[in-house]
């Protein structure tokens, strides 16, 4: 996708417990009527939707229109299947992050926002910089220990074949960090900052691993 092809407005899907990063792919099970409508409309046009986290505001009850984080990630529907009970099973590919400018008025059941991509054009670049598996293990040795401690299975040899940005983003999304921590990683301006943020977050987890021999 080129910069000139980016939309100025997106349907947004505020989904708790879920973050997608650029150059990653995730499956989604769509069953709420308003998001069924969103997917229907998207499939008829550009197949693009904006994934974004709702904000957690203390002990307030969940709302049908929760406040949203400012930064999300646009995804493109790359696979679509309807089940016998009328659910949609889709695969979403992360394309580029966006910033919400404002929410727009609509008569649709789902929400739409005017969005801005200008700070995230780098997400569209296809970097050819490769990383050796040995380097990956060195950079993420603490992350690997955390994955193993939590029972996460990562195909490290498959990651070896990816570019550096694909690898960093995939690990950031798959990591057993909190959603607030993943939001921090999503908002990191570039790859180097994201790597440093991962290292900072890992310090708190590895302390638990080595000091308490457990993670709460």
More confident residue, 11 or 179: 11
With a CB cutoff of 8 Å and minimum separation 6, the contacts of 154 are 144, 147, 171, 174
Band (pLDDT 50/70/90 cuts) for residue 209 is: very low
**pLDDT at 194 > cutoff 90:** no
Q: How far apart are CA 121 and CA 96, in angstroms?
A: 7
73-117 residue pLDDT tens: 999 999 999 999 999 999 999 999 999 999 999 999 999 999 999
Q: What percent of the chain has pLDDT over 90?
A: 49
Q: Domains of the chain (ranges plus CATH)?
A: 3-124 (2.30.130.40), 133-212 (no CATH)
Backbone angles phi, psi at 75, to 5 degrees: -120, 155
The per-residue pLDDT for 126 is 74
């Amino acid at each position: 996708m080129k910069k000139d092809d980016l939309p100025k407005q997106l349907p947004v899907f505020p989904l708790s417990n879920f973050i997608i990063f650029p150059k990653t792919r995730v499956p989604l099970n769509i069953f709420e009527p308003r998001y069924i409508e969103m997917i229907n409309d998207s499939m008829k046009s550009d197949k693009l939707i904006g994934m974004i986290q709702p904000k957690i505001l203390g002990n307030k009850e969940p709302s049908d229109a929760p406040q949203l984080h400012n930064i999300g990630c646009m995804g493109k529907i790359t696979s679509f299947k309807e089940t016998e009970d009328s659910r949609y099973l889709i695969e979403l590919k992360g394309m580029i992050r966006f910033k919400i400018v404002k929410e727009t008025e609509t008569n649709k059941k789902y929400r739409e926002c005017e969005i801005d991509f200008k700070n995230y054009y780098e997400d569209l670049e296809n970097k050819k910089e490769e990383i050796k598996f040995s380097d990956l293990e060195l950079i993420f040795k603490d992350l690997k220990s955390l994955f193993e401690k939590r029972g996460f299975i990562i195909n490290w040899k498959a990651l070896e074949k990816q570019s550096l940005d694909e690898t960093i983003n995939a690990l950031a999304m798959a990591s057993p960090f909190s959603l607030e921590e993943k939001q921090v990683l999503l908002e990191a301006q570039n790859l180097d900052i994201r790597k440093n943020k991962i290292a900072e977050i890992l310090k708190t987890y590895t302390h638990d691993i080595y000091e308490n021999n457990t993670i709460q």
